[in-house]
Amino acid sequence: GQQLNQSPQSMFIQEGEDVSMNCTSSSIFNTWLWYKQDPGEGPVLLIALYKAGELTSNGRLTAQFGITRKDSFLNISASIPSDVGIYFCAGRIGNQFYFGTGTSLTVIP
Amino acid sequence: NAGVTQTPKFRILKIGQSMTLQCTQDMNHNYMYWYRQDPGMGLKLIYYSVGAGITDKGEVPNGYNVSRSTTEDFPLRLELAAPSQTSVYFCASTPMTEAFFGQGTRLTVV
């Protein structure tokens, strides 16, 4: 299957700091998605991006669909303790979704 | 506001036993998927369906079967459970843009 390279694998930050993570691929995607997964729960959609260059915000979260359509990043500003969790990127080609391996975020109060 | 509902949430199986993981969605989505999630790995596609009566294999289909008799339901069947099938299983549905996930079934095969 398609490979999505997500980095960093884990992050430990102080409350109030900004966070940045990204996903890259050798394939072109039609849609980029960012999910958050809490322990014992399913992934929850945070942001969906539909066209190259698109920059979308959802509260303190901002994500961009790369111009080449092969990458995307997610920024979280002014992190808070409830931001803790695993963040996944996903790319869609046709009716198939491909997922990154996740970024584990720990926020230290 | 049910979305995608999976049952059971947890299950322990003995080697060789069989079980069905249930998945139902109330969003009238044609596309449904089963993934497994192993520690440190991304989601791996087991089977998917593009509509009632149509299913197809994903990346890791061995040891599993599915059926799609209605738009709402997409059960996943394990016929002869093996330790390698210990994992967290997620069902998802999509209107062809974003995927929406259930809460998962944590399966342990001992």
Contacts of B94 in chain A (CB under 8 A): 95, 97
Q: Which residues pair with B28 in a beta bridge?
A: none
The reported pLDDT for the residue numbered B39 is 83
Which residues on adjacent β-strands are paired with residue B93?
A: B32, B100
CB contact under 8 A, A42 and B41: no
Interface contact A100, partner B, CB < 8 A: yes
Q: List the single residue in A31, A41, A99 with the smallest CB-CB distance to B97.
A: A31
What's the CA gap between B101 and B57, in Å, rounded?
19
Termini Cα distance of chain A: 39
Strand, coil or helix: B104: coil
What are the residues whose beta carbons fall under 8 Å from the beta carbon of B87, sequence distance 6 or more? B36, B37, B38, B107
pLDDT in tens, A5-35: 999 999 999 999 999 999 999 999 999 999 9
Q: Inter-chain contact A101–B40, Cβ cutoff 8 Å? A: yes
Q: Do B57 and B65 touch, CB atoms closer than 8 A?
A: no
- Can you give the pLDDT at residue B41? 80
B1 confidence band (pLDDT: 50, 70, 90): low
- Measure in Å the smallest separation between the Cα of B61 and chain A Cα atoms: 13
pLDDT in tens, B14-29: 999 999 999 999 999 9
pLDDT at A3 over 90: no
Residue A104: predicted pLDDT:
96
pLDDT at residue number B66? 98
Q: Render pLDDT for A50-95 as a digit per residue (tens, 0 to 9).
A: 999 999 999 999 999 999 999 999 999 999 999 999 999 999 999 8
Q: In this complex, do A90 and B99 lie within 8 Å of one another by their Cβ atoms? A: yes
Contact: A97, B99; criterion CB under 8 Å: yes
Residues in chain B with CB shorter than 8 Å from the CB of A41 are 103-104
- How far does the CA of residue A66 sit from the closest CA of chain B (Å)? 17
Of all residues in chain A, the one with the smallest CA distance to B51 is A95
